[in-house]
């Protein structure tokens, strides 16, 4: 029988049991042997215990009755078990058992080997970004509880246990409110929660049962873990509550000047006095933190890139660099390397050799899109009904003309400055706000970009362009689910459905859901059979799904529209390589080198196709051209891959391969792929010691990667 089925009988105790005493040699509660006391409170104690048969370690929360205990108190205690037991989430404590005795009740839960959040920060030395990740996980947990009609109502550091691996567990649903039940277990106006973390609406008028109250409390926890103090303090609980209800929050960066302004904005939004002004949901709260964390990680990545001689294989969040790593070294199957950029482009983007050039390409694409919007007299430069007088209207027109010029010149900073001046004159100009969103997107200030979109949607929740722009920003962040969510809403209100379907398809490509990518590309092409981007997206999806013949047909269609598009030629050439049609692949790669003779990747790809055709000398010569153009670590790595395609490989070839890999590693000592391929090369020539050393380098550089797993497997074979 489920132990939670009888919780409604909370006022009917079963039998009397003696509580464990401190001086007992062996202390038990039911079938649980008490190991230690891990917490005490006004209503009882919490024990660490072990089940006598299963040896499972558990925690037991005991509520001891006294003369003042009412049935209401008992019901509230057992309601915690009922509420928590119905929630199934990896970050919510699990309930194993619940019992009511004559003189006390107890709840048995999983034992979390962790510490309260505030203590864990010091004990585990949790860095700032990990603290924010913990808050993000708790926000996701609250989103789950809110969707299940449960408001926690007592979010505080003590109720968030954090393990040494930084995994949080939300606990203590003792005063949670189940919105789907009509039972009243609190008195009218009764204060529930902890003063330092309680929301203003609860502090001033008691229980409001709002999800926004949990968001406020989590915001207060965020405030504490980034500043070291709570948002409001006071000598007494009453003073704290008064300050919560009436005082203004000091920005976190005032206390800790090292905190970024963006983090201030997220935290202060959660702590808004009016519930409707906070994040719309716990998910939105967590989403903004996630965007901030990605932006910070991106900034760190870019700073690290500047300190390296060559870029790593992976690009930033806007750029997806898919590189063929030869898993089976003797295979002639080729997956072409390509760079695909998110952004509003009219056609597939040409190959760029490094992420910095690609970033500029996307910024240009965003600016081009914004310039076109600014030139649209029906939207940007129309006679705005919101102009309050002719003088301000004339000023706005003048500024919009200036904005258009700055965007044409790709002056992002200047364009933002002008658009903000327009905003100061008319802060409800949706088109201008969305231009600001786009401009901030182009400079990777994603949080600000999303905030501008939200401003528009707060005024008009059916604004198609705002959903579209916010979706594009999520796309740039690789937040593909959120992008798809916004773009599907956009479909309901836009007349640009083909464009939106294609962007949804690209998002599914990001999720590697190729079936849905093909499906949504088909939707786009049904609406517009001449849409080049949709053919490109569908071709890529078909290729990824290994439907090569259909993919080539779509690349052919695309190239009829744009016969000199380098990206499409590279993709089609790569597809020909996969089906071993090497002469056709060679034709495409030769054309690329003629169209852009300064792009090393054209020569790299051509070298591979020539090598696959058995034209070894030509392949080697072409590959050296790529290295002469740019002797980077990546190109030396590609050269070694190309040589590996030769059949058969002799000792001289192996030395050439090692020379290229040595060069790659010398240029970039953090290049894990190069160590991996060099280890495999050493293994082939029976230099086991050198192979082990390089495989160990892979384990140190990328310990949790699939490459590391393969390295471990191959090291076993060396024994």
Pick out the residues of the known binding site for ATP: 61
Other beta carbons less than 10 A from residue 261's beta carbon: 11
Distance between CA atoms of residues 309 and 669, nearest Å: 10
C-alpha dihedral sign at 207, 213, 214, 217: negative
Question: How many alpha carbons fall within 13 Å on the CB side of residue 185?
Answer: 23
Q: Angle at Cα 535 formed by Cα 350 and Cα 374, nearest 5°?
A: 65
Q: How far apart are CA 538 and CA 531, in angstroms?
A: 11
Q: Residue 111 contacts by C-beta under 8 Å, 6 or more apart in sequence?
A: 48, 57, 58, 59
Q: Tell me how long the chain is.
A: 719
> Among all chains, which residue has been given the structure tokens 């102009």?
387
Contacts of 300 (CB under 8 A, 6+ apart): none
Asked if 373 and 431 count as a contact pair (C-beta separation under 8 A), the reply is yes
Q: How many CB atoms lie within 10 A of CB 337?
A: 20
Count CA atoms within 13 Å of residue 344 on its CB side.
Answer: 20
Q: Rounded to an integer, what distance in angstroms lies between the CA atom of residue 148 and that of residue 160?
A: 19
Treating both helix axes as pointing N-terminal to C-terminal, what angle do 548-561 and 532-544 enclose, rounded to 10 degrees?
A: 160
316: CB partners within 8 A, 6+ apart:
298, 301, 302, 355, 359
Q: Are 156 and 184 in contact (CB under 8 A)?
A: no
Annotated binding site: 61
Q: 3-state secondary structure string, 491-531?
A: HHHCCCHHHHHHHHHHHHHHCCCHHHHHHHHHHHHHHCCCC
Backbone angles phi and psi of 381, in degrees to 5: -110, 25
| Per-residue b or e along 590-601, where b marks 16 or more CB atoms closer than 10 Å to that residue's CB | bbbbeeeeebbb
Say whether 459 sits in a helix, a strand or coil: helix
The closest alpha carbon to 458, from 242, 276, 630, belongs to 276
What CA–CA distance (Å, rounded) separates 517 from 568?
A: 18
Annotate 207-275 with three-state secondary structure: CCCCHHHHHHHHHHHHHHHHHCCCCCCCCCHHHHHHHHHHCCCCCHHHHCCCCCHHHHHHHHHHCCCCH
């Amino acid at each position: 029988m489920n132990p939670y089925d009888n919780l409604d009988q909370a006022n009917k105790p079963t039998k009397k049991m003696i509580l464990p005493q401190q001086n007992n040699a062996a202390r038990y509660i039911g079938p649980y042997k008490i190991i230690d006391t891990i917490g005490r409170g006004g209503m009882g104690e919490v024990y660490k215990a072990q089940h006598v048969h299963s040896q499972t370690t558990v925690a037991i929360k005991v509520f001891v009755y006294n003369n003042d205990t009412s049935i209401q108190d008992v019901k509230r205690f057992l309601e915690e078990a009922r509420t928590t037991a119905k929630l199934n989430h990896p970050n919510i404590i699990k309930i194993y058992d619940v019992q009511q005795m004559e003189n006390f009740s107890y709840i048995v839960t999983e034992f979390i080997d962790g510490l309260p959040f505030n203590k864990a920060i010091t004990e585990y030395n949790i860095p700032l970004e990990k603290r924010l990740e913990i808050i993000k996980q708790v926000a996701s947990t609250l989103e789950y509880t809110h969707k299940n009609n449960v408001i926690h109502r007592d979010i505080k550091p003590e109720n968030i246990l954090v393990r040494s691996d930084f995994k949080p567990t939300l606990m203590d649903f003792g005063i949670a409110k189940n919105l789907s039940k009509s039972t009243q277990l609190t008195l009218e106006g009764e204060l529930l929660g902890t003063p330092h973390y309680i929301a203003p609406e609860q502090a001033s008028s008691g229980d409001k049962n709002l999800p926004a109250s949990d968001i406020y409390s989590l915001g207060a926890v965020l405030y504490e873990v980034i500043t070291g103090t709570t948002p409001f303090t006071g000598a007494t609980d009453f003073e704290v509550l008064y300050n919560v209800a009436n005082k203004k929050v000091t920005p976190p960066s005032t206390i800790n000047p090292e905190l970024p302004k963006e983090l201030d904005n997220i935290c202060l939004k959660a702590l808004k006095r009016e519930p409707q002004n906070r994040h719309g949901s716990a998910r939105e709260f967590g989403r903004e933190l996630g965007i901030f964390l990605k932006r910070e990680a991106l900034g760190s990545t870019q700073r690290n890139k500047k300190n390296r001689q060559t870029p790593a294989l992976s690009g930033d969040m806007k750029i997806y660099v898919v590189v063929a790593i030869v898993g089976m070294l003797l295979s002639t199957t080729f997956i072409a390397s390509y760079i695909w950029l998110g952004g509003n482009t009219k056609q597939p983007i040409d190959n760029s050799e490094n992420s910095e050039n690609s970033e500029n390409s996307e910024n240009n694409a965003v600016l081009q899109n914004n310039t076109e919007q600014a030139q649209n007299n029906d939207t940007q430069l129309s006679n705005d009904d919101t102009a309050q007088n002719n003088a301000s209207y004339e000023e706005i027109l003048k500024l919009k003309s200036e904005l258009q010029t700055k965007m044409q010149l790709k002056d992002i900073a200047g364009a933002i400055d002008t658009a903000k001046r327009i905003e100061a004159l008319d802060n409800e100009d949706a088109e201008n706000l969305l231009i600001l969103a786009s401009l901030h997107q182009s400079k990777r200030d994603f949080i600000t970009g999303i905030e501008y979109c939200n401003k528009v949607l707060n005024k008009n929740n059916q604004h198609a362009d705002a959903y579209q722009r916010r979706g594009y920003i999520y796309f740039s962040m690789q937040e593909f689910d959120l992008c798809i969510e916004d773009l599907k809403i956009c479909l309901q209100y836009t007349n640009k459905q083909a464009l939106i379907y294609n962007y949804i398809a690209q998002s599914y490509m990001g999720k590697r859901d190729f079936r849905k990518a093909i499906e949504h590309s088909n939707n786009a092409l049904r609406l517009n059979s001449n849409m080049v981007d949709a053919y490109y997206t569908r071709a890529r999806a078909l290729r990824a799904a290994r439907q090569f013949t259909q993919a080539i047909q779509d690349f052919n269609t695309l190239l009829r529209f744009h016969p000199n598009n380098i990206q499409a030629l590279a993709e089609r050439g790569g597809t020909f390589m996969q089906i071993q049609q090497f002469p056709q692949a060679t034709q495409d790669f030769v054309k690329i080198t003629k169209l852009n003779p300064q792009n090393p990747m054209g020569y790299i790809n051509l070298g591979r196709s020539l090598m696959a055709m058995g034209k070894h000398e030509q392949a080697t010569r072409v590959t050296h051209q790529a290295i002469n153009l740019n002797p980077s670590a990546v190109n030396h790595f590609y050269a070694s891959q190309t040589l590996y395609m030769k059949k058969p490989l002799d000792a001289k070839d192996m030395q050439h391969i090692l020379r290229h890999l040595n060069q790659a590693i010398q240029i970039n000592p953090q290049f894990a792929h190069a160590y991996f391929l060099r280890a495999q090369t050493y293994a082939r020539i029976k230099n086991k010691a050198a192979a082990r050393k390089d495989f160990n380098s892979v384990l140190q550089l990328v310990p949790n990667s699939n490459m590391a797993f393969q390295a471990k497997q191959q090291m076993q074979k060396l024994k």
